[in-house]
Amino acid sequence: MNQVSQKTRVWDLPTRLFHWLLVVCVVGALVTVKLGGNWMQWHLNFGIATLALLVFRVVWGLIGPRYARFNSFLPSIRAAWSHLRPTSTTHTRQAGHNPLGAWSVYAMLMLLLVQTSTGLFVSDDIMYQGPLSVLVSNDMVSRLTSVHKLGEWVIFAMLGLHVVAIGVYRFKGHGLVGPMIHGDVNTQQLLANTAPAQDDWRVRTGALILASLLAWLAWWLSTAQFGGILS
Q: Is residue 44 a contact partner of residue 229, using CB atoms and an 8 Å limit?
A: yes
Who wins on pLDDT, 34 or 89?
34
Who wins on pLDDT, 95 or 74?
74
Burial 13-24 (b: 16+ CB within 10 A, else e): bbbbebeebbee
Within the chain, residue ranges assigned H as helices are: 13-35, 40-63, 77-84, 99-119, 138-171, 177-182, 201-223
On the question of pLDDT at 41 being above 70, the answer is yes
On the question of pLDDT at 130 being above 50, the answer is yes
Give the model's pLDDT for residue 37.
Answer: 87
Select the CATH number that applies to the domain covering 7-83+96-226 from these four: 1.10.260.40, 1.20.950.20, 3.90.550.10, 3.30.67.10: 1.20.950.20
